[in-house]
A = this chain, B = another copy of it.
Amino acid sequence: MTKNKYSEEQEKIARYAKALSHPVRIQILQILSQQSCCYSGDIVDDLPIARSTLSQHLTELREAGLIQGEFNPPKIKYCIRTEAWNEANQLFDLFFKNKNGETATKNSCSTKASKSK
């Protein structure tokens, strides 16, 4: 294992965020999350991308843990993976919640800050 530069939490948030960082993946997840599950072939009709490109995006979402595919020959039924979905939701929640109220208001700055060495 390589050197751990960042915390597990930071890596996790970044990984989920990366999965959400393309509009087509947002759309895919919205489709899946709103109308239970879907078949890949049905999704592609609503998207402005080729089938092979969709496949790549689905793979990314699967590797991020956010969706799962159930083989239902000859189709594959994709669904939201609730476990990861909830974890991501919670991570983002906490991330945004952890903020003191006094930012961006002219003054309010701690001129100190560590500066080790």
Contact = CB atoms under 8 A, between A and B. Distances in A.
Interface of A: 5-7, 10-11, 13-14, 17-27, 29-30, 32-39, 41-42, 45-46, 48, 68, 70, 72, 77, 79-82, 85, 88-89, 92-93, 95-96, 98-100, 102-104, 106, 108-111, 113-117
A99 B6 contact: no
Contact of A14 (B21, B77, B93): B21
Q: Which 7 pairs of residues, A with B, have the shortest CB-CB distance?
A: A42-B113, A17-B20, A18-B21, A6-B23, A89-B96, A33-B99, A37-B109
A104 B81 contact: yes
B110 A37 contact: yes
A96 B32 CA distance: 12
Given A39-B113, A92-B92, A103-B82, A26 B13 contact: yes
A17 B14 CA distance: 8
A113 B38 contact: yes
B100 A36 contact: yes
Contact of A13 (B6, B20, B42): B20
Contact of A109 (B13, B14, B36): B36
